[in-house]
C-alpha cells in the first residue's frame, strides 16, 4: 500500500554542518529520525502483509502515533518546523483513508473500498513529497 521512506540518512547531514544553529538543527533532525524511523519500519512491515481491515487499522494507528510524537516537538528552524507540521498533517490524512478502506472492506463495500485505496495511493505520494521537504529542511 505505501512504501515507507526512512529518514535515517538525516544522520548523515550532521558531520557536514557548521555553526551552532546548524548543529542544533542536525541534533533536532537526528531526534526526529529516532522517533520516526522505527514506526515507519513497522508501517512497512504491516503494509507488506495482507490488507485485511486489522492491518489497515494498525497502519493507521502507526501513522497517527508518528503524528502524535511530532506534535509537541519544537524546532529553531522555521523551515524545519513547517516541514514537520506538513508531514504530520499528511500522516493524519493517510491514516484516515486507511481507516476508511478498512471500514469499507469490513462492510464489503467494493466501491468505497476501491475509492479509499485510490485515496491512500494518492496520499502516499503526498506523504513521500512531505518527507522529501522534511529531508531538505534538515540539510
Residue 133 near residue 77, CB atoms below 8 Å = no
Q: What pTM did the predictor assign?
A: 0.79
Q: pLDDT (tens digit, 9 = 90+) per residue, 2-14?
A: 444 455 444 444 4
pLDDT band at 18; cut points 50, 70, 90:
low
- Give the rounded percent of residues in the chain with a pLDDT score beyond 90: 42
Average pLDDT over residues 17-39: 82
* Helix, strand, or coil (residue 22): helix
Q: pLDDT (tens digit, 9 = 90+) per residue, 56-90?
A: 999 999 999 999 999 888 888 899 999 999 999 99
Q: How many Cβ atoms sit within 10 Å of the Cβ of residue 137?
A: 23
- Give the rounded percent of residues in the chain with a pLDDT score beyond 70: 86
Q: How much is the pLDDT for 13?
A: 44
What is the rounded distance in angstroms from the CA atom of residue 123 to the CA atom of residue 127? Answer: 6
Judged on CB neighbours under 10 Å (0-12, 13-18, 19+), 24 is middle
Distances (CA, A) of 137 to 13, 67, 119: 11, 18, 27
Residue 63 near residue 34, CB atoms below 8 Å = no
Kindly tell me if the per-residue pLDDT of 95 is higher than 80. yes
Mean pLDDT estimate for the chain: 84
What is the rounded distance in angstroms from the CA atom of residue 13 to the CA atom of residue 23? Answer: 10
Q: How much is the pLDDT for 21?
A: 75
Amino acid at each position: 500500500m505505501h512504501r515507507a521512506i526512512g529518514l535515517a540518512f538525516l544522520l548523515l547531514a550532521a558531520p557536514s554542518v557548521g555553526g551552532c544553529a546548524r548543529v542544533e538543527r542536525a541534533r533536532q533532525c537526528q531526534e526526529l529520525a529516532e522517533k520516526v524511523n522505527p514506526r515507519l519500519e513497522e508501517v512497512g512491515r504491516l503494509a507488506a502483509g495482507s490488507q485485511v481491515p486489522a492491518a489497515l487499522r494498525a497502519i493507521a494507528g502507526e501513522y497517527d502515533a508518528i503524528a502524535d510524537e511530532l506534535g509537541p516537538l519544537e524546532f529553531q528552524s522555521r523551515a524545519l518546523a513547517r516541514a514537520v507540521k506538513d508531514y504530520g498533517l499528511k500522516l493524519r490524512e493517510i491514516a484516515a483513508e486507511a481507516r476508511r478502506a478498512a471500514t469499507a472492506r469490513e462492510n464489503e463495500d467494493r466501491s468505497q473500498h476501491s475509492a479509499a485505496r485510490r485515496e491512500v495511493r494518492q496520499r502516499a505520494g503526498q506523504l513521500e513529497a512531505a518527507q522529501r521537504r522534511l529531508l531538505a529542511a534538515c540539510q
